[in-house]
Chains A and B, each alone.
Chain A
Amino acid sequence: MLRALGRYSLSIVHELGDYALFTGQAFRSAVGARRLWRRIVRAGFEQGVRCLPVILIVGMFTGLVLGLQGYYVLNRFGSESLLGTLVSLSLVRELGPALAALMLVGQAGSALAAELGIQRNTEQIAALETMGVSSHAYLVTPRLLAALVVYPMQTALFVTVGLWGGSLSGSLLLGLEPGVYWSAVEHAIKSQDVRECFTKATTFGLLTISLCAYHGFNAHRCSSATGARAVSASTTRAVVQSSIIVLAADYVITSFLV
């Protein structure tokens, strides 16, 4: 029992170290990589434009629900005028970065893990290495660098749409004065909140894309399955671990920044 626990703990430490080396290698490979910009733009398109609909839809519904729930709670205390404060701070500080990251993990992260897993299975990654092309520089680095830009942008969009969602349910459906709502939003958001929002978004981007790339890239090392099942298992692990790490990192960053 104790031996099994020790072996399991060691395997986790080993995997964490391996993941850290993988991420470090991806950043190091940026030096001297040829035609990197093109691949960054392509990765930005995949993470940005392709994920836009889900960000807009989830952002809007998050704002609508926050507006509704917030209005009913604040109404009990006669403080409906604070609805803008509640919606904006919830979105900017917590829900915006976390939910946008989770949506991006679901769409771009899972696609990345599956794509790299298939490329590993069909020897495309080995083919790159035999051509003298760094597979990290070609496949991972552009995605990682794109995520550092795209995640904050998607989060900003999510928050903006969410604020409009809150305004819609608060003003249009429940009769709160739009001026009151937007004035509360304007007074509530401080530059520190925006900094916190972007710090979280960038961190989540780095953690989730590197984790998804790591699992896809190493699909062949999956001990429980081979072939298509290994791709499926590594994609599932990538999405589950990324989702957990978003919430865990959210807690850590919040406890340091608040």
Chain B
Amino acid sequence: MGAESNQPLLRIEGLFKRFEENVVLDGASLNVAPGSLVSVLGRSGAGKSVLLKCLADVVRPDSGSIFFDGKPLGVGNDLARADFRRRCSFLFQSNALFDSLTALENVALPLEQTTDLPDKEIRARSLEALRQIELEAHQDRYPSQLSGGMQKRLALARAIVTRPELVLFDEPTAGLDPLRRNAVFAMIAKYQRQFGFTALVVTHDLTEALIASDRVALLDKGRMCFEGTPAEFSASTATMVGEFRDSADALGRTIAAIRRGEALQPEDS
């Protein structure tokens, strides 16, 4: 069964991770309620992807705790971790599709390798996932024969075919133009409602995240410096939130200064 409504489905407490001298996560904490769409915002290099990879066990944190459905996922909790993997899917920034498998084979892969369902059932469920994501007509195509948006949808179909309770999205809109960014966020919000999974999205696209998310968190220098609703984010007077929120205005001021020929202060990017 899923978590109780008053209990977060996912709880992250004081996650710490360093790569040699570079501290990437410095005590990051976050709560994700069941059925919600939570976006973690932050600049490039703020530690967003590492946070997600710690959750997916691709990267092991140095310290801190992760709880899924109330159970800790640390070293030695193999059963809880196996349960987490069964109930969670991860959507990579690069999609991580198997380029030597067709669209249908890509979607069928997690079912083939993690369940004992008969082949007929696997095919039916995979085709159903492709149909829901409007890719049924492309089932025999390889990922390289699909457009960027189709690949993203295919990766989502693969992520949801196992009917997960939690889907982790790593920068789903990275490198996309504004129209595609909107489309991807709309797709996430649509399927999140349709399939009822909990979504944790890591992104640096502020506008789309504020529109589509139930809650947002801001990660800076490895720590969560804000967690709340999009309305609270918009109203927040915290310095980091202001800087991030007003980045478009800041760009306008910078460009105006350049045009006026004023000397610019070097800024941390």
Minimal Cβ-Cβ distance residue in B for A119: B98
Cβ–Cβ < 8 Å partners of B82 in chain A: 132
Cβ–Cβ < 8 Å partners of B58 in chain A: 126, 129-130
Minimal Cβ-Cβ distance residue in B for A35: B112
Cβ–Cβ < 8 Å partners of A131 in chain B: 85, 89-90, 109-110, 113-114, 162
Q: Is A133 an interface residue (CB 8 A)?
A: yes
Cβ–Cβ < 8 Å partners of B162 in chain A: 131
Which of B56, B97, B113, B116: most chain A Cβ within 10 A? B113
Minimal Cβ-Cβ distance residue in A for B81: A132
Q: Is B86 an interface residue (CB 8 A)?
A: yes
Q: Is B234 an interface residue (CB 8 A)?
A: no
Q: Is B96 an interface residue (CB 8 A)?
A: yes
Q: In residues 30-87 of chain A, which contact B (Cβ within 8 Å)?
A: 34-35
Question: Could you tell me the distance in whole angstroms from the C-beta of B34 to the nearest C-beta in chain A?
Answer: 20
Given A122-B96, A123-B94, CB of A130 within 8 Å of CB of B89: yes
Q: Is A217 an interface residue (CB 8 A)?
A: no
A34 touches B94 (CB 8 A): no
Minimal Cβ-Cβ distance residue in A for B116: A34
Q: In residues 107-126 of chain A, which contact B (Cβ within 8 Å)?
A: 115, 119, 122-124, 126
Minimal Cβ-Cβ distance residue in A for B90: A130
A123 touches B116 (CB 8 A): no
Q: Is A127 an interface residue (CB 8 A)?
A: yes
Cβ–Cβ < 8 Å partners of B99 in chain A: 122, 124
Cβ–Cβ < 8 Å partners of A128 in chain B: 113
Report the contact-size class of chain A (Cβ under 8 Å from the partner).
10 to 19
Given A127-B90, A129-B57, A132-B82, CB of A138 within 8 Å of CB of B113: yes
A115 to B96, CA, bound (A): 14
Q: Is B92 an interface residue (CB 8 A)?
A: yes
Question: Could you tell me the distance in whole angstroms from the C-beta of A17 to the nearest C-beta in chain B?
Answer: 20
A132 touches B96 (CB 8 A): no
B114 touches A133 (CB 8 A): yes
Question: Could you tell me the distance in whole angstroms from the C-beta of A40 to the nearest C-beta in chain B?
Answer: 15
Question: Could you tell me the distance in whole angstroms from the C-beta of A233 to the nearest C-beta in chain B?
Answer: 21
Q: Which of B85, B96, B113 is close to A35, meaning CB atoms less than 8 Å apart?
A: B113
Minimal Cβ-Cβ distance residue in A for B84: A132
Question: Could you tell me the distance in whole angstroms from the C-beta of B161 to the nearest C-beta in chain A?
Answer: 10
Question: Could you tell me the distance in whole angstroms from the C-beta of A203 to the nearest C-beta in chain B?
Answer: 29
Q: Which of A34, A126, A133, A138 is close to B96, meaning CB atoms less than 8 Å apart?
A: A126
Minimal Cβ-Cβ distance residue in B for A132: B85
Cβ–Cβ < 8 Å partners of B96 in chain A: 122-124, 126-127
B113 touches A34 (CB 8 A): yes
Question: Could you tell me the distance in whole angstroms from the C-beta of B115 to the nearest C-beta in chain A?
Answer: 8
Question: Could you tell me the distance in whole angstroms from the C-beta of B117 to the nearest C-beta in chain A?
Answer: 10
Cβ contacts A128-147/B at 8 Å (1 or 0 each): 11111100001000000000
Cβ–Cβ < 8 Å partners of B100 in chain A: 115
A126 touches B92 (CB 8 A): yes
A126 to B90, CA, bound (A): 10
Given A122-B99, A124-B98, A126-B58, CB of A133 within 8 Å of CB of B92: no
Which of A123, A128, A130: most chain B Cβ within 10 A? A130
A128 to B106, CA, bound (A): 11
Given A34-B116, A122-B99, A126-B58, CB of A133 within 8 Å of CB of B110: yes
Nearest first, the 3 A-B pairs at minimum CB distance are A132-B85, A127-B96, A130-B90
Interface residues of A (CB under 8 A from B): 34-35, 115, 119, 122-124, 126-133, 138
18 CB-based A-B contacts, threshold 8 Å: A34-B113, A122-B94, A122-B96, A122-B99, A123-B92, A126-B96, A127-B90, A127-B92, A127-B98, A128-B113, A129-B57, A130-B58, A130-B88, A131-B89, A131-B109, A132-B114, A133-B113, A133-B114
